[in-house]
Amino acid sequence: MLLDTSNSLDAKKAQAYLDKLIEKGDQIEIRKIIKQRTVRQNSYLHCCLTMFCNETGYTIDEAKELFSMQLPDIMRYEKNGINFRKSTADMDTKDMGTLIDKIREMALDNLGLYIPDSQEYLIHKFQIEKELSWVK
């Protein structure tokens, strides 16, 4: 059952259902649904990475690996004692936003490279992507 607890009717349904399950002594699983990164975020991330790669000579995969080592709390996970890089496709909107902010910050601090913020990117998307396609 999917319910939105910000909706008062859904919240009441959820509480009533939970109360019923508790009363019966049932085993249950409750989990929060986390919004996956958006298509817009993904497009903007790849713009940021492409600008970074054009400046440094790294490939997109190399840049993702580099950022995963510098931002392990966002981009790495452990399984069976082995550390792996998290796919950006598995990130939620919050982690993706943090990753993008860190890429922009690191590019500016370490390379003097200004990467447009998301609003500038949306306004100038066509021109930015046209310029980036020539560089590849």
Q: What is the pLDDT of residues 77-124, one digit of tens each?
A: 999 999 999 988 888 888 899 999 999 999 999 999 999 998 888 787
**pLDDT bucket at 35, cuts 50 / 70 / 90:** low
Per DSSP, the residues of 37-94 read PPHHHHHHHHHHHHHHHHHH---HHHHHHHHHHH-HHHHEEEETTEEEEPPGGG-BHH
C-alpha span between 85 and 75 (Å, rounded): 6
Q: Average pLDDT of 118-135?
A: 78
How is the chain split into domains, by residue range? 1-33, 39-135
Residue 67: pLDDT band (50, 70, 90) is very high
Cα distance between residue 48 and residue 3, in whole Å: 35
Q: How far is CA 4 from CA 7, 8, 20, 22, 125, in A?
A: 6, 8, 19, 20, 34
Q: Per the structure block, which two tokens stand in for 76?
A: 């790495």
User: What local confidence, expressed as pLDDT, does residue 104 receive?
Assistant: 94
Mean predicted confidence (pLDDT) in 68-81: 92
pTM of the model: 0.66
Residues in the chain: 136
How much is the average pLDDT of 20-34? 85
